Amino acid sequence: MNLGKILYVDDDKLLTSTFSTLMKVEGFDDVVVFNDPLEAIKYLKKETPDLIISDFLMPEMNGLEFLREAKKLYPETSMILLTAYADKENAIKTINEIGVYKYIEKPWDNDDLIMNIKNGIERSHLLADLREKIAELEKAKSQLTAYSEKLEEIVAERTKELTIANKKLSGIINYCADGIIIIDAKGNIEQVNPACENMVGLPAKTLEKMKIQEIAYSDNPKLNKAPRSSVKNTILGLSCDNSEFLLRDLYLRNSINNEAVPVEINFASLAAEDSDAEKFVGVIRNVSVQKETERLRDDFIATLTHDLRTPLSAAIQTLRFFLDGSLGKIEDKQRVLLATMLQSNEDLLGLVNALLEVYRFESGKLSLCKTVFSINDLVKQCYEELEPLSKNKNISFNLHCDTDENLLIDADRAEIKRVIINLCGNALNYTNKGGTIDIYVKAQCGDLIFSVADNGNGIPKEDIPNLFMRFSQGTSRKRSTGTGLGLYLSRQIIEAHGGKIWVESKVNKGSEFSFLLTNVVAESRV
């Protein structure tokens, strides 16, 4: 163990030899001695000792001169001066001029010398550490000063930017076509913009003394149940625990012309640590145009239903009469033509029906009719309906039901059947002749997982993200023959049940379509 590096200078060779021996006995392994102070100076320019010991009377350079030069090189290093009794005055002078740590009289006491050497080395280390800490503090102070100056610049810049942003925001709010309103948790109006004033026909000063329940009402029974003085964390009777929520089916009564303006209000919470001070900012949008568009769309759908579905259904039935011979015998060429016409009409009717279903789901006009039924029975029924097509293409259907035979689920049977038929039908259409299709039905923890896997051509990776989008057909030539509504409608149906639908596919290996319905498993039949 290295206790410290010691440099001892004395022109008496006997003393330097004695000192070296004493140090080795005491465990100081790193000891350097010189009889010539000039040589010691050269050494000091290359090496750093932890303690310097010097005799006072030396021929080439006395102890005062030597320690003065050493002090220039190592100001924190402890120094001990050895002197005879007669040299006390010089020793004191050296201490005063240079700041020598100790002086020890010759002949020295070994115990006293060892103690002072250890203390001196420790003092050198402490002074070095102190100097380092001071340097670090000075650096930190300098950095702090620079950071403070930079921070002041940043604050000034940010203040300027904030001022500009506030002016822009005020301009946006004041000239925004949508109404903007700020209310507290009890519905008290605190601030409005000019657009909101125009919608209601009242000035801001008047509105800011009112509650939002006094200017907004709804034809939704759930909203109309709200009292005039709404409780905390409710707006118009609806819970507003979320940070953002949208209120539909609202009307603002214009006090000038007494007209009811249909609006939607998108509220966002202005969170505060004090819950009693919670605020909400609402963006009020006039949806009169949207309401009129919805009415026109409803009229169009009604026309589509009546003017297209009815004649298509009649044409399909007539063609079927021709094909089954009810209207007389037909030739083979005529049969082929009529079959093509029948298929075209059925495809067109399927497109019309798909469009109608998509509209109903998107507009929220189609409500699910949930019943409790056997999922295994439904899957088998779908399989039986698709079996002729599978036999025609020599495709094997493998049914894997890891569930109880009598497993019951609570869902809309007709809509779930539509999804299963669609997924299995797609698998048949895109699987080559002689291929295999596997159907899996699994139940776990109240959830139902349905999957259909084929060993067809697979789906390109770039097509998968858009596969469940409306009218998406992909880039594959083989997958471009449909309307692009089947998978979109399937997603709408599954999401309406609170579930999710997805696909995993690899090119030239096949695809697996799956959907998950949560908390639908009912008790099994006895």
pLDDT digits (tens, 9 = 90+) for 169-222: 777 778 788 888 888 888 889 888 898 888 888 898 888 888 888 888 876 554
Share of the chain above pLDDT 70, in %: 83
Question: Over 70: is that where the pLDDT of 422 sits?
Answer: yes
DSSP 264: E
Residue 262 β-bridge partners: 251
pLDDT of residue 526: 38
| Residue 519 or 358, more confident | 519
Do residues 78 and 120 lie in contact, with contact meaning Cβ atoms separated by under 8 Å? yes
Question: Over 70: is that where the pLDDT of 433 sits?
Answer: yes
Distance in angstroms between the alpha carbons of the first and the last residue of the chain:
85
User: Could you give the strand order of the β-sheet that contains 408-411, starting from the edge strand earlier in sequence?
Assistant: 371-374, 408-411, 521-522
Closest residue by Cα to residue 23 from 138, 140, 110: 110
Residue 436 β-bridge partners: 396
Closest residue by Cα to residue 245 from 253, 254, 236, 256: 236
Per DSSP (E only), the strands in 132-215 are 179-184, 189-192
Confidence band for 242, pLDDT divided at 50, 70 and 90: low
Do residues 512 and 506 lie in contact, with contact meaning Cβ atoms separated by under 8 Å? no
pLDDT of residue 502: 93
H/E stretch holding 442 reads strand 436-444
* DSSP-H helix ranges across 364-458: 375-392, 413-429
Most confident of 304-308, 316-320, 441-445: 441-445
Range with the lowest mean pLDDT among 31-35, 76-80, 348-352?
A: 348-352
SS3 177: coil
User: 73-119, pLDDT tens digit by residue?
Assistant: 988 889 998 887 656 776 677 777 777 888 888 888 898 999 999 99
pLDDT of residue 330: 81
Burial class (CB in 10 A: 0-12, 13-18, 19+), 87: buried
DSSP 88: H
Give this prediction's pTM: 0.46
DSSP 108: P
Q: Which residues of 453-473 are buried (b: 16+ CB within 10 A; e: fewer)?
A: bbbbbbbeeebeeebbeeebb
Which pair of structure tokens corresponds to residue 77? 């290093």
Question: Over 60: is that where the pLDDT of 445 sits?
Answer: yes
d(CA 414, CA 278): 46
pLDDT of residue 453: 93
Range with the lowest mean pLDDT among 117-131, 197-211, 343-357?
A: 343-357
d(CA 180, CA 266): 10
Question: Over 90: is that where the pLDDT of 515 sits?
Answer: yes
DSSP 338-373: HHHHHHHHHHHHHHHHHHHHHHHHHHT------EEE
SS3 251: strand
Do residues 435 and 397 lie in contact, with contact meaning Cβ atoms separated by under 8 Å? no
Residues 6+ apart with CB under 8 A from 35: 9, 10, 11, 12, 13, 16
d(CA 151, CA 375): 67
Which pair of structure tokens corresponds to residue 226? 């709200």
Q: Is the dihedral of CA 123, 127, 129, 133 positive or negative?
A: positive
Burial class (CB in 10 A: 0-12, 13-18, 19+), 258: exposed
Confidence band for 467, pLDDT divided at 50, 70 and 90: confident
d(CA 330, CA 348): 25
| Residue 165 or 301, more confident | 165
Most confident of 34-38, 104-108, 223-227, 325-329: 34-38
Question: Over 90: is that where the pLDDT of 404 sits?
Answer: no
pLDDT of residue 180: 87
Residue 233 to residues 122, 239, 243, 270, Cα–Cα distance (Å):
68, 6, 11, 12
pLDDT of residue 306: 66
Q: What is the mean pLDDT of residues 277-299?
A: 80
H/E stretch holding 173 reads helix 110-175
SS3 17: helix
Question: Over 70: is that where the pLDDT of 224 sits?
Answer: no
The residue type found at 256 is I
Closest residue by Cα to residue 414 from 367, 454, 464, 450: 367
